[in-house]
Amino acid sequence: MSSLTLQNLTKIYPNKYTSVKNITLEIADGEIVVLHGPSGCGKSTILRMIGGLEDITSGEIYLGNDLLNDIPPCDRPLAMAFQNYALYPHLNVYENMALGLRLRNMPKSIIDSRVKSTSAFLGFGKLLDKKIRFISETDKQKVALGRAIVCTPKIILVDEDFAHGNAHLRKDLLKYIRKINHTYHTTILYATRNADEAAYLGGRLVVLNDGEVSEIISPIHTVAEK
């Protein structure tokens, strides 16, 4: 079960700055939720706390019935797509895709099947032998997303900076997020300053202001693919 529950989630930094204030939110299995607000509103901090990259001052995070608070990031059944693609330039695309599966001691046949099917799904199957340093930014983004879904995470966390501020990359990113959600029924949380992106993704819009939820808007119709 991939439902996610935030209960009274709060983040206060050592300098007493409160980034996230007592947020409670229920996210259904397979849902897309867009966290929207200006810089400094707490949206990226929420993603980082869910991913285990930020300590939680108070509150709980549940995946289904499992409390995530004290589970190390590497053991949480989710994937994170933040600004740094964290791809290894000295490895080729296949090796980057396969790394997480190898660390989980998956059989070679399963690794090969997942890497090839995922790369075909995202449209970079012909690049598997290419070194990361020799592929485009668009393809690097695809590989980073592919590496995320090849391990079949229950939830994918995506920060808007993953697109590196590039409008073309952002458009592609939104398309791939929809495709992943529709195909794999993966729960997705996407943080952005652009409210229009929620219309394309068709998810619930959670509006944040000064670390608090100011409004929750129900899913709206998605923009047709072109």
Evaluate whether 199 touches 222 at the Cβ level (below 8 Å).
yes
For the stretch 85-99, pLDDT in tens is 788 999 999 999 999
> Model confidence at 36, in pLDDT bands (50, 70, 90)?
very high
Confidence (pLDDT) at 226:
42
Confidence (pLDDT) at 224:
45
HSE of 40, CA atoms in CB hemisphere, 13 A? 3
Lowest-confidence region among 43-47, 203-207, 209-213, 222-226 = 222-226
Class of the domain covering 1-73+187-219:
alpha beta
Query: Is pLDDT above 70 for 20?
Result: yes
> Model confidence at 225, in pLDDT bands (50, 70, 90)?
very low
Domain coordinates in residue numbering, the chain: 1-73+187-219
Evaluate whether 93 touches 99 at the Cβ level (below 8 Å).
no
Confidence (pLDDT) at 165:
65
What average pLDDT score do residues 9-31 get?
A: 96
